[in-house]
Amino acid sequence: MVGHTQLKIRMAVVGTILFGLYLAVAGFVLTAFGTGTPVLILLSLGMVGYPFILYKFGRWSAVRGVGAEEMPERREAGYRFDEIHRSTERLCDEMDLEKPKLMIAEMGMPNAFAVGRRADGVVVISREIIEILDHDELEGVIAHELAHLDNRDTVMMVMGQSIAALVGMVTYIVVAFRGERDIASIITGYLASMVAQMIVTVFLMAISRYREYVADADAAEYTRNPDAMARALEKISAGAEGKEMTAEESVSALCIFGGERGLFATLFASHPPTEKRIERLRSM
């Protein structure tokens, strides 16, 4: 079993590689276009403004994409909303985390996800997951999502997506506008851009898989009940069989359960295999 600290070290290494690519993009722009004021302004807008816009839009579209509504603080129609609020408050106190806005949605399958930052987070929980989980299992899911906020996972993933887009753009410029600058160069540049973005995406998805293991471990630590988290994953996996998320793939990547994939798709999967997550939790 890979320890919690080792997982965070792996995330730091992969994150450093992505940050190195970010600096390489900035270096290319400065080398190619100089260090004049207009270039520096455009570079700042691209390197800072683009991730900020992507973060804000991504948060809005994720919540809107599942039709989430603010979760009531009282029990309604058999849903234990009051218990969810109390558990969230207790966990936030332990994690020294500001309580996020809690929202409820119908996702077509049992799931949950978190977006935002430590001081401005949102946790969306599906009605389907409330219906199938016991209280201690649901508390494990809440702790998992709070761990994502505490570890700034959403911010890191947005930065990674920005890097992939910027690296692809720079690759296209370098390839397409070198040499003859004809239709063949444009096509080659487009293909090279896709390959470059794919390579960055592999690193990004590696971070995504590691962050799930770390969030599982954090949830087990703060609830002091790794078995409840393991049971929750088992029930979620069983409850998701034959069902599809009523949201885009970008939202699925944020969720606690990302579905099962084939061998090749595992390289680009945002989540590790559920059985491995359960195995790690049961070994704690």
Residue 242, exposed/middle/buried by CB under 10 A (0-12, 13-18, 19+)?
exposed
Residue 68 backbone zone (phi > 0: left; psi -120 to 50: alpha; other: beta): beta
What is the end-to-end Cα distance of the chain in Å, rounded?
A: 10
Helix (H/G/I), strand (E/B), else coil: 115:
strand
DSSP 103: E
Catalytic residue, chosen from 145, 221, 260, 275, is 145
Nearest to 196 by CA among 175, 217, 222, 225: 175
- DSSP string over 117-154: ETTEEEEEEEHHHHHH--HHHHHHHHHHHHHHHHTTHH
Would you say 142 and 123 are in contact if contact means Cβ atoms under 8 Å apart? Answer: yes
Please state, in angstroms and rounded to a whole number, the distance separating the CA atoms of residues 209 and 207: 5
In the residue annotation, 145 being an active-site residue is answered as yes
Q: Which residues are catalytic?
A: 145
